[in-house]
Amino acid sequence: MDRAAHLATLNGRLLQAFSRRSLETLRATSALRLVLPHVEPLLALNVSKEVRKDALAFHAAAAAAARATAPGAQDAERVLEATKAIDREFLRRLEDFPLRLEISYARVAPVRLRRIERLLDAAYRLLLHWPARTRLRAVIQAQYSAEAFEQLLLALLRLYAEEASALARAVRLPRLLAPLTERLVRRLDATLSEVAPRLAGDVVAGVYRRRDGRLAG
Protein backbone atom coordinates (compact mmCIF):
# COMPACT_ATOMS: atom_id res chain seq x y z
CA MET A 1 0.00 0.00 0.00
CA ASP A 2 1.18 3.49 -0.87
CA ARG A 3 0.72 5.02 2.58
CA ALA A 4 1.28 8.61 1.47
CA ALA A 5 -1.41 8.17 -1.18
CA HIS A 6 -3.70 6.65 1.46
CA LEU A 7 -3.22 9.68 3.70
CA ALA A 8 -3.85 11.98 0.75
CA THR A 9 -7.10 10.16 -0.05
CA LEU A 10 -8.35 10.45 3.52
CA ASN A 11 -7.36 14.11 3.61
CA GLY A 12 -9.31 14.62 0.40
CA ARG A 13 -12.40 13.11 2.00
CA LEU A 14 -11.97 15.41 4.98
CA LEU A 15 -11.77 18.55 2.83
CA GLN A 16 -14.69 17.44 0.68
CA ALA A 17 -16.78 16.86 3.80
CA PHE A 18 -15.77 20.31 5.09
CA SER A 19 -16.83 21.93 1.84
CA ARG A 20 -20.07 19.92 1.58
CA ARG A 21 -21.19 20.67 5.13
CA SER A 22 -20.33 24.34 4.75
CA LEU A 23 -22.26 24.68 1.50
CA GLU A 24 -25.28 22.95 3.00
CA THR A 25 -25.29 25.57 5.74
CA LEU A 26 -24.82 28.44 3.29
CA ARG A 27 -27.71 27.24 1.12
CA ALA A 28 -30.02 27.77 4.09
CA THR A 29 -29.16 31.49 4.06
CA SER A 30 -31.86 33.08 1.91
CA ALA A 31 -29.87 36.27 1.26
CA LEU A 32 -27.17 34.23 -0.54
CA ARG A 33 -29.37 32.16 -2.84
CA LEU A 34 -28.69 34.45 -5.80
CA VAL A 35 -24.93 34.41 -5.22
CA LEU A 36 -24.22 30.76 -4.42
CA PRO A 37 -24.86 29.37 -7.94
CA HIS A 38 -22.01 31.61 -9.12
CA VAL A 39 -19.66 30.66 -6.29
CA GLU A 40 -20.34 26.96 -5.64
CA PRO A 41 -18.51 25.69 -8.77
CA LEU A 42 -15.52 27.82 -7.79
CA LEU A 43 -15.46 26.40 -4.26
CA ALA A 44 -15.77 22.84 -5.60
CA LEU A 45 -12.87 23.44 -7.97
CA ASN A 46 -10.89 24.92 -5.09
CA VAL A 47 -11.36 21.77 -2.99
CA SER A 48 -10.01 19.64 -5.82
CA LYS A 49 -7.03 22.00 -6.17
CA GLU A 50 -6.22 21.91 -2.47
CA VAL A 51 -6.47 18.13 -2.29
CA ARG A 52 -3.90 17.84 -5.08
CA LYS A 53 -1.60 20.34 -3.40
CA ASP A 54 -1.87 18.60 -0.04
CA ALA A 55 -0.92 15.33 -1.73
CA LEU A 56 2.45 16.89 -2.58
CA ALA A 57 3.05 17.43 1.13
CA PHE A 58 2.16 13.84 1.99
CA HIS A 59 4.57 12.47 -0.61
CA ALA A 60 7.31 14.83 0.59
CA ALA A 61 6.71 13.57 4.12
CA ALA A 62 7.01 9.98 2.87
CA ALA A 63 10.37 10.79 1.29
CA ALA A 64 11.53 12.33 4.59
CA ALA A 65 10.32 9.29 6.54
CA ALA A 66 12.20 6.99 4.15
CA ARG A 67 15.45 8.73 5.03
CA ALA A 68 14.39 9.11 8.70
CA THR A 69 15.02 12.84 8.59
CA ALA A 70 12.33 15.20 9.83
CA PRO A 71 11.14 17.61 7.12
CA GLY A 72 12.36 21.15 7.57
CA ALA A 73 11.82 24.63 6.18
CA GLN A 74 13.43 23.79 2.84
CA ASP A 75 11.07 20.84 2.34
CA ALA A 76 8.08 23.07 3.03
CA GLU A 77 9.37 25.71 0.61
CA ARG A 78 9.87 23.08 -2.10
CA VAL A 79 6.31 21.85 -1.68
CA LEU A 80 5.04 25.43 -1.77
CA GLU A 81 6.92 26.05 -5.00
CA ALA A 82 5.52 22.85 -6.53
CA THR A 83 1.95 23.92 -5.71
CA LYS A 84 2.26 26.92 -8.01
CA ALA A 85 1.82 24.75 -11.11
CA ILE A 86 -1.52 23.53 -9.71
CA ASP A 87 -2.50 27.14 -8.99
CA ARG A 88 -1.74 28.15 -12.57
CA GLU A 89 -3.91 25.33 -13.89
CA PHE A 90 -6.69 26.43 -11.52
CA LEU A 91 -6.54 29.99 -12.84
CA ARG A 92 -6.67 28.77 -16.44
CA ARG A 93 -9.81 26.77 -15.69
CA LEU A 94 -11.41 29.84 -14.15
CA GLU A 95 -11.30 31.58 -17.52
CA ASP A 96 -14.50 29.68 -18.38
CA PHE A 97 -16.33 30.99 -15.29
CA PRO A 98 -18.72 34.00 -15.40
CA LEU A 99 -16.70 35.83 -12.75
CA ARG A 100 -13.25 37.26 -12.19
CA LEU A 101 -10.71 36.45 -9.52
CA GLU A 102 -8.31 39.09 -8.26
CA ILE A 103 -6.13 37.48 -5.63
CA SER A 104 -2.67 38.33 -4.37
CA TYR A 105 -0.44 35.27 -4.09
CA ALA A 106 1.67 37.09 -1.51
CA ARG A 107 -1.42 37.35 0.69
CA VAL A 108 -2.21 33.64 0.78
CA ALA A 109 1.32 32.20 0.60
CA PRO A 110 2.09 32.57 4.35
CA VAL A 111 -1.13 30.78 5.30
CA ARG A 112 -0.46 28.07 2.75
CA LEU A 113 3.10 27.60 4.00
CA ARG A 114 1.87 27.15 7.58
CA ARG A 115 -0.59 24.52 6.39
CA ILE A 116 2.12 22.71 4.44
CA GLU A 117 4.38 22.72 7.50
CA ARG A 118 1.65 21.23 9.69
CA LEU A 119 0.84 18.57 7.08
CA LEU A 120 4.50 17.65 6.66
CA ASP A 121 5.05 17.31 10.41
CA ALA A 122 1.91 15.25 11.03
CA ALA A 123 2.36 12.99 8.01
CA TYR A 124 6.03 12.40 8.82
CA ARG A 125 5.15 11.43 12.38
CA LEU A 126 2.53 8.93 11.24
CA LEU A 127 4.55 7.48 8.37
CA LEU A 128 7.69 7.08 10.48
CA HIS A 129 5.81 5.12 13.15
CA TRP A 130 3.54 3.02 10.92
CA PRO A 131 4.54 -0.66 11.29
CA ALA A 132 3.67 -3.21 8.64
CA ARG A 133 0.17 -4.73 8.83
CA THR A 134 -0.98 -2.00 11.22
CA ARG A 135 -4.14 0.01 10.63
CA LEU A 136 -3.85 3.78 10.40
CA ARG A 137 -6.32 4.19 13.25
CA ALA A 138 -3.97 2.35 15.60
CA VAL A 139 -1.03 4.49 14.46
CA ILE A 140 -2.95 7.70 15.11
CA GLN A 141 -4.01 6.48 18.55
CA ALA A 142 -0.40 5.61 19.39
CA GLN A 143 0.96 8.99 18.28
CA TYR A 144 -1.76 11.37 19.44
CA SER A 145 -4.18 11.64 22.32
CA ALA A 146 -7.75 12.26 21.17
CA GLU A 147 -7.46 15.87 22.30
CA ALA A 148 -4.16 16.44 20.49
CA PHE A 149 -5.44 14.89 17.26
CA GLU A 150 -8.60 17.00 17.40
CA GLN A 151 -6.49 20.14 17.82
CA LEU A 152 -4.34 19.12 14.83
CA LEU A 153 -7.38 18.59 12.62
CA LEU A 154 -8.92 21.84 13.77
CA ALA A 155 -5.72 23.78 13.05
CA LEU A 156 -5.52 22.30 9.54
CA LEU A 157 -9.19 23.03 8.82
CA ARG A 158 -8.84 26.60 10.05
CA LEU A 159 -5.84 27.20 7.80
CA TYR A 160 -7.80 25.77 4.88
CA ALA A 161 -10.69 28.08 5.82
CA GLU A 162 -8.37 31.09 5.77
CA GLU A 163 -7.42 30.30 2.18
CA ALA A 164 -11.03 29.70 1.18
CA SER A 165 -12.03 33.04 2.67
CA ALA A 166 -9.23 34.81 0.83
CA LEU A 167 -10.47 33.20 -2.37
CA ALA A 168 -14.04 34.39 -1.70
CA ARG A 169 -12.80 37.93 -1.06
CA ALA A 170 -11.02 37.88 -4.41
CA VAL A 171 -14.15 36.95 -6.37
CA ARG A 172 -15.57 39.68 -8.59
CA LEU A 173 -19.23 38.84 -9.16
CA PRO A 174 -21.42 40.19 -11.97
CA ARG A 175 -22.27 43.84 -11.34
CA LEU A 176 -25.83 43.26 -10.12
CA LEU A 177 -24.62 40.79 -7.49
CA ALA A 178 -21.46 42.66 -6.46
CA PRO A 179 -23.10 44.33 -3.42
CA LEU A 180 -23.60 40.85 -1.93
CA THR A 181 -19.90 39.99 -1.97
CA GLU A 182 -19.14 41.25 1.52
CA ARG A 183 -22.18 39.48 2.94
CA LEU A 184 -21.03 36.26 1.27
CA VAL A 185 -17.54 36.57 2.76
CA ARG A 186 -18.84 37.27 6.27
CA ARG A 187 -21.26 34.37 6.13
CA LEU A 188 -18.64 32.05 4.67
CA ASP A 189 -16.20 32.94 7.46
CA ALA A 190 -18.85 32.29 10.11
CA THR A 191 -19.93 29.02 8.50
CA LEU A 192 -16.41 27.63 8.18
CA SER A 193 -15.75 28.57 11.82
CA GLU A 194 -18.91 26.72 12.89
CA VAL A 195 -18.38 23.61 10.78
CA ALA A 196 -14.65 23.05 11.47
CA PRO A 197 -14.87 22.04 15.16
CA ARG A 198 -17.90 19.83 14.57
CA LEU A 199 -16.17 18.02 11.73
CA ALA A 200 -12.93 17.61 13.69
CA GLY A 201 -14.94 16.22 16.60
CA ASP A 202 -16.75 13.75 14.35
CA VAL A 203 -13.49 12.47 12.88
CA VAL A 204 -11.92 12.05 16.31
CA ALA A 205 -14.98 10.21 17.59
CA GLY A 206 -14.63 7.77 14.69
CA VAL A 207 -10.89 7.26 15.13
CA TYR A 208 -10.92 6.81 18.90
CA ARG A 209 -14.24 4.99 19.30
CA ARG A 210 -13.84 1.54 20.85
CA ARG A 211 -16.00 -1.43 20.01
CA ASP A 212 -17.99 -0.89 23.20
CA GLY A 213 -18.88 2.61 21.96
CA ARG A 214 -16.62 4.45 24.41
CA LEU A 215 -13.71 6.68 23.42
CA ALA A 216 -10.27 5.06 23.48
CA GLY A 217 -7.36 6.79 25.17
Domain boundaries, the chain: 3-208
- State the sign of the Cα–Cα–Cα–Cα dihedral 143, 112, 6, 204: positive
The CA distance from 207 to 7, in Å, is: 14
For 108-137, letters b (16+ CB in 10 Å) and e give beebbbebbbbbbbbbbbbbbebeeeeeee
Q: What is the pLDDT of residue 3?
A: 96
The CA distance from 136 to 13, in Å, is: 15
- Least confident stretch, 11-15, 24-28, 196-200, 204-208: 24-28
Torsion of CA 136, 142, 147, 149, to 10 degrees: -40
The CA distance from 202 to 98, in Å, is: 36
The H or E element that residue 100 is part of is strand 100-101
Q: The pTM is what?
A: 0.89
Per-residue pLDDT averaged across 84-97, rounded? 84
Highest mean predicted confidence (pLDDT) among 26-30, 170-174, 210-214: 26-30
Torsion of CA 29, 115, 60, 51, to 10 degrees: 10
The CA distance from 16 to 153, in Å, is: 14
* Model pLDDT for residues 137-185, shown as the tens digit of each residue: 999 999 999 999 999 999 999 999 998 888 777 776 666 566 667 777 7
The residue that leads in pLDDT, 40 or 83, is 83
54 pLDDT above the threshold of 80: yes
